[in-house]
Structure 1
Amino acid sequence: MDDVTIRDRIPPLTSIPLPRAVDRRWLTKRWPVREFATPPAGSGLKPVLGDAGAPLLGHTLDSMRFGVDFALHRYETYGPVSWLGIFGRRFVMLAGPEATQVALANKDKAFSQEAWRFFLDRFFYRGLMLLDFDEHHLHRRIMQVAFTRDRLTGYARQFAPVLREGVARWPEQPRLYWALKQLTLDVATRVFMAMPGDAGTARINRAFVDSVRAPTSLVRLPVPGGRWAAGLAGRRVLERYFTESLPAKRAADGDDLFSVLCRATGEDGERFSDADVVNHMIFLMMAAHDTSTITATAVAYHLAKHPQWQERAREESLALGDELPDLAALDRLETLDLVIKESLRLTAPVPSLPRMAVKDVDVLGHYVPAGTLVTISPNTNHYSPGHWTDPRAFDPERFAEGRREDKSHRYAWMPFGGGVHKCIGLHFGLFEVKALLHEMLRAYRWSVPAGYRLRWDYVSLPVPVDGLPVSLTRSR
């Protein structure tokens, strides 16, 4: 599938250039400050302060355009607990490790995944991340058998040749994000579903892309030609494919994720229903390829900007020899470990984690009433000067033993979320990204023009506005 097939044909919102002065005025525009809700008399709690932003749209466009800078500006203006208007609703924003811990540790079960359902339910209905409390615990326990070390070893045997073959076919000057996205889609369809690379795969890939782009549509109606309508159509394609394929998967003894989920059994004999398997596969396919694409893109960009780190990582990859790497070999790529962690810090693949308060709750002395939509900002934590040295600098050594700045707070570094909903596939994703970069390092050297700076589009998950153009040369 070529770039045009994968990409949205509508230019991303943030690709529209604005003069720097206009950018700054847009970001720092002052709106009337108001209380979110009046605290109960005698509670001693403070009201949450914030602003609604522009009429109707609120801060939707600001957050999409400015991403990290928007999150940091809100934190600097209002502190760790504030509110804003976005997507036609009012959200309380929790920023910084301490506020994050209240929501993600969730000791008194005051926060649910209901807010995720506001964004994703039409497209990723009853995916693992959308479930709550006892039901989530049960489904996660059953699913865990699909992500053991033994299972990961088997998945690595499957994705290693896919990655090597895919990287070898790249042109000399690719838009790297789209090349990486194609590869991670290939891994997701072949390793998770055992699908061959044919026209049917292209149709499934397109359905996934449409479903992922739809949840942050400004027009949340099935207008023909719009992203919301495309996402609904994509969901129907995916449901039909998994439902029709499921009987054969249940009957076979395959080692792809789809087959494993069909056979997965909990400690007390619990198993997924057919509907559970379909819903979980659609969600896991989305989670498996999008976050890996973003992470690999960020790593490749920083290695292009910092060739000394690229050479250091390449030396370790070449030392592994020409065999396809297994998990033990990938574990030895220590430089890539550092670079991947730093890239995840600088660009969180999921820049917002929504929740809903299901009862009145005290967040750092602020009153958040039941029914409040909440959003957690990993970007703010990742750039906190109280937890990171020179947080805007690319410095992988901050993760090396002896420094370990990520240990400054449990939620200072949280690219995979936290608490009971921490990403179940994080180890799969890290091994996949490391294997992908390993193949790139063996095959190529790559660079970007002097002065080039990657700009991310935050319309949904982060996407490079220009697709990240790079120049590739064969390394040997």
Structure 2
Amino acid sequence: MAGTAARIAALRERMPPLTAVPLPRAVDERWLGARFPVRALAEPPSGSGLAPVLGDDGPPVVGHAPDMMRFGLEFTMRRFAQYGPVYWTGAFGRRIVSLSGPEATRIALVNKDKAFSQEGWKFFIERFFDRGLMLLDFGEHRLHRGIMQQAFTRERLAGYVTQMGPPLREGVRAWGAGGPRLYWALKQLTLDVATRVFMALPAESDEFGTARINRAFVSAVRAGTAIVRYPVPGGRWAAGLRGRRLLENYFGASLPAKRAADGDDLFSALCQATTEDGDRFGDADIVNHMIFLMMAAHDTTTITSSAMAYYLAKHPEWQERARAESLRLGDDLPDIEALESLETLDLVMKEALRLRAPVPSLARMTTKDTEVLGHYLPAGALVAVSPTVNHFSPECWTDPMRFDPPRFGPDRREDKTHRFAWMPFGGGAHKCIGLRFGGLEVKALLHEMLRTYRWSVPADYTPKWDYVSLPVPTDGLPVQLTYR
């Protein structure tokens, strides 16, 4: 105990002043900058030589949850500046250990001794995305991933690109010139595309209605960070459970027909997928995976395309450079090779993913006592692995707060400074299985925007991002579209 007290005292001495970390305009210093009592998560075993994980509970009852959701990036960077790469934070009625920075995240995601499991995700989203691929562990995860990989071969991806081309072109043209809230327009369009590519159904023909499905996905995603984690009428948790039931009915109603058909959509691909050993998904597995994949596909695609559109609006020289490449492809709908040739969009997408990671935290649970960078983590600790600090580390990135796509070019490749310097898709065995699909859809979408419009935002405009679930621009990202 004496050693822990000394470490707490030393931490207090070296905590940076409130002005040391840049904060957004509206930060309430009473909470975000307050000095709450520092405590150890757990005492290390005697003689281990390990240091305790230090942190604080934050304000009574709610902990730091409101500030985590309100300030996102700024909150994470402040905590890292205060505590270093391994610390804990009180939120959602739990103490959550944060692992930040390339080395700490490497230990958790490579997970050589299987000390970190996906059980951490279950605390947040199991009730809403039960048995999605991201929630499975070890042998079961390998089995399901092996089957699912059959739906993401290059041949399948080429087919999905062919299917997504027409609805993307139609949807982008349908916006017309003006000042849409671009995030919401993109979200509806990506859901329409997912409905067609994943389900082979016209967006307007299903009996559930895409607006209801979209609301169901939004409710299910946002429920994971509900502070009141019970189905109180009118609360986020109750709305998430209703959304889950609707999604189960939506996919369950189409399952028999998909089993019987030989379609080329993703739903059919999961029904048909068989490994060399004859392993296949059962009906419940297919429904669970479709709910998770639909959420992952259209939510992360919307966030990435929104961030790219914003940075292209703020940096019109990059918008013109990307447009020139798209126009060189001609008027035909691009195939997979054409999309892969759009090098400028590729650079902009990677930089947008760095600056605004679609999934800012990856949940884990310790399966046994373990250590990270000399800190003791007891079994059963809820852990958040954060790409955010990695993406802004001056050890890995030149002028990390600046929009600078050439940092990913062949002459610099700053993303290669560390294996986990850039990790918008996670890492290790659970690296996103759909990352190539998502990248192709984002490039296809921006390609159609570039062919159809020019867009801009006011010079002094900066979006405020809401981190209640995944990062969303609170104002919907208003832009001015004009026909090019």
SS at structure 1 position matched to 2:454: strand
1:182 aligns with 2:185: no
Q: Which of 394, 403, 426 is residue 412 of structure 2 equivalent to?
A: 403
Structure 2 CA distance, aligned partners of 1:232 and 1:189? Answer: 21
Structure 2 equivalent of residue 366 of structure 1: 375
SS at structure 2 position matched to 1:355: strand
Structure 2 equivalent of residue 352 of structure 1: 361
Q: Which of 243, 267, 279 is residue 270 of structure 1 equivalent to?
A: 279
Instruction: Give the superposition deviation at 1:25.
Output: 4.5
1:209 aligns with 2:213: no
Deviations 1:115-144 (A, max 9, x none): 101111100000000000000000000000
Q: Which of 470, 473, 476 is residue 467 of structure 1 equivalent to?
A: 476
Structure 1 CA distance, aligned partners of 2:164 and 2:236? Answer: 31
Deviations 1:226-268 (A, max 9, x none): 2211111111111122222111110000111111101110120
1:37 aligns with 2:37: no
TM-score, normalised relative to structure 2: 0.93
Structure 2 equivalent of residue 7 of structure 1: none
Q: Which of 373, 392, 416 is residue 425 of structure 2 equivalent to?
A: 416
1:147 aligns with 2:152: yes
Structure 2 equivalent of residue 436 of structure 1: 445
Contact 2:24–2:74 (8 Å) recurs in 1: no
Structure 2 CA distance, aligned partners of 1:375 and 1:209? Answer: 22
- Stretches of structure 2 lacking an aligned partner (at least 5 in a row): 1-22
Deviations 1:171-218 (A, max 9, x none): 411000000001110111111011222253323233222212221112
1:193 aligns with 2:199: yes
Deviates more, 1:211-220 or 1:321-330: 211-220
Structure 1 CA distance, aligned partners of 2:430 and 2:312? Answer: 31
Deviations 1:148-179 (A, max 9, x none): 11000000011111100000011411000000
SS at structure 1 position matched to 2:209: helix
Instruction: Give the superposition deviation at 1:74.
Output: 0.8
Structure 1 equivalent of residue 350 of structure 2: 341
Structure 1 CA distance, aligned partners of 2:27 and 2:372? Answer: 35
Structure 1 equivalent of residue 339 of structure 2: 330
Structure 1 CA distance, aligned partners of 2:31 and 2:41? Answer: 23
Q: CA 1:19/1:182 → structure 2, altered by over 3 Å: closer, same or farther?
A: closer
Structure 2 equivalent of residue 299 of structure 1: 308
Deviations 1:53-104 (A, max 9, x none): 1111111011111111111111111110001101110011000000000100
- Stretches of structure 1 lacking an aligned partner (at least 5 in a row): 1-17
Structure 2 equivalent of residue 90 of structure 1: 95
1:128 aligns with 2:137: no
Aligned residues: 458
SS at structure 2 position matched to 1:397: helix
SS at structure 1 position matched to 2:52: coil
1:72 aligns with 2:77: yes
Contact 2:52–2:375 (8 Å) recurs in 1: yes
Deviates more, 1:58-67 or 1:94-103: 58-67
Give % identity: 72
- Give the letter for the 1:211 counterpart: A
The runs of at least 4 aligned residues of structure 1 exceeding 4 Å deviation read none
Contact 1:195–1:201 (8 Å) recurs in 2: no
- Give the letter for the 1:288 counterpart: A
1:137 aligns with 2:137: no
Q: Which of 208, 222, 237 is residue 246 of structure 2 equivalent to?
A: 237
Instruction: Give the superposition deviation at 1:447.
Output: 0.2
Contact 1:173–1:471 (8 Å) recurs in 2: yes
Structure 2 equivalent of residue 3 of structure 1: none
1:454 aligns with 2:463: yes
Contact 1:81–1:94 (8 Å) recurs in 2: yes
SS at structure 2 position matched to 1:248: helix
Matching of residues 280-291 of structure 1 within 5 Å: 280-291=289-300
Matching of residues 15-54 of structure 1 within 5 Å: 20=25, 22-54=27-59
Once superposed, what is the RMSD of the aligned Cα atoms? 1.3
Instruction: Give the superposition deviation at 1:23.
Output: 3.2
Deviates more, 1:347-356 or 1:20-29: 20-29
Structure 1 equivalent of residue 107 of structure 2: 102
SS at structure 2 position matched to 1:200: coil
Contact 1:189–1:201 (8 Å) recurs in 2: no
Contact 1:210–1:227 (8 Å) recurs in 2: yes
Contact 2:31–2:59 (8 Å) recurs in 1: no
TM-score, normalised relative to structure 1: 0.94
